[in-house]
Structures are given as C-alpha cells and as structure tokens.
Amino acid sequence: MVHSMTGFASTTITLTTPSGAVPATLTLKTLNNRFLDMSCKLPYALAHLEAEMIKEGKKYLHRGTVYCSLYISNPHALKADVFPSIGLAQGYMKAIGTLQEKLGIPGTLTISDFITLPHLFEASEEANVADNASLVMSAVDALFKTLVATRIVEGAALAKDLEARMQAIRTNMVAIEPRAEAVSEQRRHVFMQELKPFLEKATQEVQDVHLQMLYKTIEKIDVNEEIVRFKNHLETFITTLHDAQEQKGKKLDFILQEMFREINTLNAKLPDTIASGPIINIKVELEKAREQVQNIV
C-alpha cells in the first residue's frame, strides 16, 4: 500500500472558557520531506501541548512536513482575569517624577493618564486548562487517523500513475530490444569486414591479439547486459510499489536512480536514431516517476 506524504484533515471542537463555550478549528496539513518534521501553532494557554502532539504524530507518521494548528476566532477567549502590573506602574510613577523634577514640568497624574500607558494591564490565561487539553489531544488523535486515511487515498492515485508510467517504459523497451540487437550485429559485421583483410596477411600471433581486441570492442558496444539490468530494475520497482511495507519512497527513489544509470549507459552505447526516440520517451517517464516518488512515504 502506498502512502502519500501530502494530506489534509480538519475538525471543529468546542473549548470551555471563562466567557463560555468557544468553537475552535484544529487542522493538520502535511507536505513531502525526507524526514519527519512537525510544528504546531497553538494558543498560549495550550502551547504546552506541542511536545505531546508531536509525540502523538510520530505514532502515525514516518515522513513529511506536518503543520498542526488550533485556530480560535476570538484570540482573547482563553483570557481570564485582568490585573495591573504594580511594579511597572511604580516604575512609570518614578520615571515621571524624575522628569518633573529635572525639567520643572508642572502638573499631576490622573487615572485616565495611567490607563493609556503600554503593558500596564495583563490578562491571565484560563485556569481550566486540563479539560481543554484532554479534549484537544483526543481530537488530535482522531484527526491523525483521518489524515492517514487521506494520505492512503492520495497514495492510491500515485500508485496508479506510477503503474501507467512503468507500463509506458516497458512498451518503449520492447521497441528498443530488437533494434539494439540489430545495431550491435551490424557493428560487429562492419568491424569483422574491416579487420578481415588485415588478418589474412598477419601471423597467427598477430591475429590472436587483434581478435582479442575485437572481442573487447564488441563487448563494449553490446547493450544486452544494460537491457537485462534495466528490465530487472523495472520489475523490482513494480514489486516494491505493491508490497505491504508502508515506508517505500526512498527505496523506489533508489531504484529509479539505477534505472536512469542503465538507460543513460544504453543511450551512450547505442548511437542509433531509431532507438533514440524510445530511449528519450523512457527518460521522460522516469523523470515524471521520480517527481511522483518524492511524495511517497
């Protein structure tokens, strides 16, 4: 089964606040990544849950960038009592008194002057954090399960696309094989014909040396080995795509790298205009497959 690293899940929960019940939206979004990287965006009162959320996510996910957020339309809903910062107010009084003394500024302060000063009042977070924390974590657990389900659906679409690309590659390789054999045979014949007049006049020792060189040259231009390896990699890719292992993206990527290596070698050893068309088609399909594989867990 193929799991995509792209997924999205969202749910709405109701938090208990000093001012009453408040709706909140919990969302999970995942993108591709070589490793598992999770981050959370939470209200200050629930920020301590981030480590627990990441731990929960690791139970369900293995790779991908994960964004978890809890959105409340009214950010002040989790605020409770408002209280003055006495120390800051005393600091303001002392600083203003110093200004009046040093600069000779007359006048007296009133409460209306004080309430406009920045950071003079602070609001505590809600006291009833435990109930909301339990509610949020329960919702997070359920949401991760939903997220995995969406990634499986997306993964099935990726697998179908990759199967189609592998079939296109197989079809093009079928077209290459007979042409590769014909070209190799033709080049062997040309080498033999060019070498034959020389060998007829040479000594047996010289003939043996040149025949060995000929065999090595023929071996270098033969592409049967590359074709066999490429086809084996192709079958391994398809088998891996359908095995029961969940984490297979990196393995599929490595197989594609080997397929690229073999087709590039084949292209270099087979300078034929007729075969170049299917070879280019295979490279295009491999490149598209690699883009898709980057999004598989």
Q: What is the pLDDT of residue 127?
A: 44
Complete domains list, the chain, with CATH: 7-77+129-152 (3.30.230), 86-119 (no CATH), 155-293 (no CATH)
* 123: CB partners within 8 A, 6+ apart: 76, 79, 80, 81, 82, 83
- Give the integer Cα–Cα distance in Å for 241 and 151: 15
Q: What pLDDT is recorded for position 140?
A: 96
When the pLDDT of each residue in the chain is averaged and rounded to a whole number, the result is: 85
Of the chain, the percentage scoring pLDDT greater than 70 comes to 81
What's the whole-number mean pLDDT along residues 242-262?
Answer: 94
pLDDT of residue 252: 97
Look at the pTM and tell me if it is higher than 0.75. no
Strands 36-41 and 64-72: parallel
| pLDDT score of 143 more than 90 | yes
User: What confidence category does residue 212 fall into, taking pLDDT thresholds of 50, 70 and 90?
Assistant: low
Q: Mean pLDDT across the stretch 258-286?
A: 90
pLDDT of residue 219: 61
pLDDT of residue 138: 95
Give per-residue pLDDT as tens, 186-195.
Answer: 777 666 666 6
Taking residues 223-230, what's their average pLDDT? 90
Higher pLDDT, 126 or 166: 166
- Both tokens of 193, joined, read 């014909």
Both tokens of residue 78?
């989790």
Q: What is the pLDDT of residues 23-72, one digit of tens each?
A: 899 999 999 998 999 999 998 778 889 999 999 999 999 999 999 999 98
Please say if the pLDDT value at position 128 is more than 60.
Answer: no
Give pLDDT, residue 210: 62
Confidence of residue 292 (pLDDT cuts 50, 70, 90): very high
Residue-wise pLDDT tens digits, 91-112: 888 888 888 888 888 888 788 8
Number of residues that this document lists for the chain: 297
When pLDDT is averaged across residues 7-26 and rounded to a whole number, the result is 87
